[in-house]
Structure 1
């Protein structure tokens, strides 16, 4: 059965019969979980199993946003409270090597928790820069304002995920750090000249262009395409993401139902795929919306399948991380190691 270039959420902690039938018919590439889907470890494992069974693929990817800090779908007391990226960036200002090790261990600990639940893709790390005056939608989710430092810590995070068999998703490519409004609610417009963007926002992503998956940013870069947000812009995707940055992994759009994008969801899905996204993401689990997205998406391309397989190969090649423990992480964060 043809794969659909879609990733969908579901409404609650258990898979409904209408959802099961829909996923069986549509055959989406994979699924994404949110806090509404997560109650206990056993419940999550059962839901993940039901989602994969609905499409008859044990390897169907299951995603989650587990960055640490305020963006974490799995929370205490059942799961560890991981620090936000900003704390590692601050540590790096004093102890670079300790920060790199701490990020790698922290991501590995997150990934081990996810893998134990059957979740195999984490929508992290954030490679957006933290810049003065920008909206705090990124804020402490960023490693900092220097692209080289962000890329170094971002690579350590990716290594930690891969070591536990979890695919990282670098986001929000080609950079969300200059947004002055929250793209969950409005469409940001960035008016920074292209040379400055290439030297700053885009550079962190260029330095991690070898990663397996990336998620787009819903914002307009006026210097490149003043008429379309990056997710829907053939020019931004071809010239910047695939061109200047050189990313050849699986390109996933950010959630189509965010308010930054206007219009019919089916039309938005078509536009995102036509622009060059490999996969469209729809998160809220509303059946009527998912039906429109699936009808518009068609089948996955051969190029997208190639990129997906490449990611799977990377997922199997992670190297074990020694001393990946909470005690070691705590020591590093307190400057004791």
Structure 2
């Protein structure tokens, strides 16, 4: 299996893409809105992906709720952004924790029903005043301790539904004053402030997977974004935060890496894997770009393979017993009870 996770933006595999996936054998996949037409169609697509690569690959999705949701109404329910759970927590702590757990337990229920078993959530970023709005209400709170508590509840909800989670964007995107989809953010904060940003990640360092941030942290490595920085990955993520799970890059297509590195997707993949990422993420769904990315990847072996197997264990175990009807009723009650006056 190659150390990559590739995107799909079509509802059905074409012959060329199927042949590439069969030969390259990526570790996993991520599906986007264009690939999610109906429940029956998505189940068939996920089964086809796994059959093509010949292993029970995890099929991931970005389903945070709020702005970042690939499963859309009317085919699927609508979930609030993570910030809503923080608002409830501010009014009543137990209700906030219950809402966060239930929200992500219900997401897991819907994902499993559609053939999906990995979610790029929860977000652990801590937004600060003056930062770019790309995080905004995707964050649970501006208080790192509350972020950690609610993110733990959310991750537990995914796990109980037999869905692997991925905490993001390590070591913290909340202080960036630019959107890394469009530019290369550079954070000049000092250690005392950055300690605030990494706290939620430290509290959830036992998570099975994490995603890096395409951000330059001048205090740690002024020349390279975290995704491509051996210093940030080894000294901050692995040692200081204590994260020993599978580390994935954010999308290699994002403009941040275009500004940070010379070369194309092959060079970006090589830089990320060389810096210590176990797996790279490339989301365009364009065959030629996926082929170029794969050329910069490695076969999963050694510790990265051990970490991959650990992530698969979260995604492939049976879900805990759950009454989805009762869960939705309780969740809707919580949303109504704590709706703005």
Q: Is the 8 A contact 2:127 2:173 kept in 1?
A: no
CA–CA distance in structure 2, aligned partners of residues 330 and 130 of structure 1: 27
In the alignment, which of 35, 59, 63 is matched to residue 60 of structure 2?
Answer: 63
Question: Is 1:121 matched up with 2:118?
Answer: yes
CA–CA distance in structure 2, aligned partners of residues 314 and 54 of structure 1: 22
Question: Is 1:40 matched up with 2:32?
Answer: no
Residue correspondence of structure 1 range 234-245 to structure 2 within 5 A: 234-245=230-241
Unaligned runs of 5+ in 2: none
CA–CA distance in structure 2, aligned partners of residues 36 and 153 of structure 1: 30
Tell me which moved more, 8-17 or 66-75: 8-17
Give the equivalent residue in structure 1 for 2:81: 84
- Pairwise CA RMSD of aligned residues? 1.4
1:248–1:317 Cα change, 3 Å: farther
Q: Determine helix, strand or coil for the equivalent of 1:254.
A: strand
Q: Determine helix, strand or coil for the equivalent of 1:253.
A: strand
Give the equivalent residue in structure 1 for 2:301: 301
Give the equivalent residue in structure 1 for 2:285: 285
CA–CA distance in structure 1, aligned partners of residues 320 and 207 of structure 2: 15
CA–CA distance in structure 2, aligned partners of residues 56 and 141 of structure 1: 35
Give the equivalent residue in structure 2 for 1:230: 226
Q: How far apart are residue 330 of structure 1 and its match?
A: 1.8
Give the equivalent residue in structure 2 for 1:329: 331
Give the equivalent residue in structure 2 for 1:176: 173
Give the equivalent residue in structure 2 for 1:52: 50
CA–CA distance in structure 2, aligned partners of residues 148 and 320 of structure 1: 30
In the alignment, which of 131, 136, 139 is matched to residue 133 of structure 2?
Answer: 136
Task: For residues 269-324 of structure 1, give each alpha carbon's deviation from its aligned partner in whole angstroms, at most 9, with x where no partner exists.
Answer: 00000100000010011111111111111211311111122223344386556786
Q: Is the 8 A contact 1:108 1:164 kept in 2?
A: yes
Tell me which moved more, 29-38 or 189-198: 189-198
CA–CA distance in structure 1, aligned partners of residues 115 and 131 of structure 2: 36
CA–CA distance in structure 2, aligned partners of residues 35 and 314 of structure 1: 24
Q: Determine helix, strand or coil for the equivalent of 2:255.
A: coil
CA–CA distance in structure 2, aligned partners of residues 270 and 146 of structure 1: 36
1:295–1:247 Cα change, 3 Å: same
CA–CA distance in structure 1, aligned partners of residues 291 and 257 of structure 2: 18
Unaligned runs of 5+ in 1: none
Give the equivalent residue in structure 1 for 2:22: 24
Q: Is the 8 A contact 2:66 2:80 kept in 1?
A: yes
Q: How far apart are residue 12 of structure 1 and its match?
A: 1.1
Q: Determine helix, strand or coil for the equivalent of 2:281.
A: strand
What TM-score results when the alignment is normalised by the length of structure 2?
Answer: 0.94
Q: Determine helix, strand or coil for the equivalent of 2:181.
A: coil
Q: How far apart are residue 221 of structure 1 and its match?
A: 0.3
Q: How many residues align?
A: 332
